[in-house]
Amino acid sequence: REVIIIHAVSAKIITGPSGAIGYVKVKTFSEIMPKELHKEITNLRARGITKVILDLRNNPGGLLNSALDILYDFARPNDIFMVMRKRAESTIFDAAFIKKELTPNREPGMFRDMRVVVLVNKGSASASEIFAGTMKDWGYPVVGPPEGTFKKGVGQTVFPLSDGSTLRLT
């Protein structure tokens, strides 16, 4: 048996009258997605492309940590990522928490200078909705149909267990 890697991200360059635009399709928010997306956007920037379409249409979501990891690259140092409610108390995850927990080797906002448009549709669910909503809150345009997204708005978090297996909690 072989390990089969299903890529979560694909990219291409679209050339039009207003110049070159990077088109990046994010199929799912998997464990490998942040690394793949980071690589594709870095490659686009290296080619002088600063306008990017992030296509989350028909993206069923996936791992919340993957969405947070990529959001970190579009964040300003003091941006708030999300609010989670645990019964009566509220926990706020900010850029400092994300840096400590998910991405300790880089500063926030690596792609903040990019001109990004996020595409969504009725098939955009879960972590893709959280990602798109946060990008919209931070001033990035989000384009989709009038009926909006799937309206699930939750993601999965992975918890490692002592026997080496993991629990994915939605």
| Active-site option among 35, 51, 122, 152 | 152
| Active-site option among 30, 66, 126, 128 | 126
- Any catalytic annotation for residue 151? no
| Active-site option among 86, 137, 162, 165 | 137
- DSSP assigned state of 114: S
Q: For every residue of 56-109, which 3-state class applies, written as one string?
A: CCCCCCEEHHHHHHHHHHHCCCCCEEEEEEECCEEEEEEHHHHHHHCCCCCCCC
- Any catalytic annotation for residue 79? no
- Any catalytic annotation for residue 152? yes
Residues paired with 159 in a beta bridge: 167
Q: Which residues are catalytic?
A: 126, 137, 152
